Amino acid sequence: IVLTGGDDRLWKTWGFPDGNILLTGEGHTDWLSGCCFRPSGTQLVTSSGDTTVRLWDLSRSGCILTLRGHSRAVRGCSWHSCGDFVASASADGTSKIWDVNSERCRYTLRGHKGSVNSIEFLPFSSTVVTSSADKTLSLWDVR
């Protein structure tokens, strides 16, 4: 199964080798910049130009949580390997760590001087790496 998102504001899961669409989700009001499966495989997270991060339940193809807090487009998203946290990177120059159980922002990471364009948790750690339009990479300890 492959997961995609695009300018059509939709995410899609595709089966292979046939390439058929298995599921489609809609709800964002602008382009999708990122999408990522939860480590358990039962949910996914998407990021969008509409400034939101959304969690989706694959069994219902529906949005179960919308995370708001960025003031500009969200450029990327990532799940922590434990499945309890989501990271987001934004054109507003910040990144956020979201606790999906409490449905709130746990940390806002500030320090880049430009748009934060990508974010990833390092596997099985509390370290996040971000890349920015300011031509830097940053490592963050989010404990």
**Could you say which DSSP state residue 11 is in?**
E
The model's pTM is 0.94
What is the pLDDT averaged over residues 112-117?
98
pLDDT of residue 143: 87
- Residue ranges and CATH numbers for the domains of the chain are 29-141 (2.130.10.10)
Mean pLDDT of 67-77: 98
pLDDT tens, position by position, 92-112:
999 999 999 999 999 999 999
Sign of dihedral through CA atoms 93, 79, 75, 48? Answer: negative
Are 113 and 125 within 8 A, CB to CB?
Answer: no
- The reported pLDDT for the residue numbered 61 is 67
pLDDT at 60 over 90: no
Q: What is the mean pLDDT of residues 72-77?
A: 98
pLDDT at 138 over 90: yes
Q: State mean pLDDT over 82-86.
A: 96
Mean of the pLDDT values across residues 4-29? 94
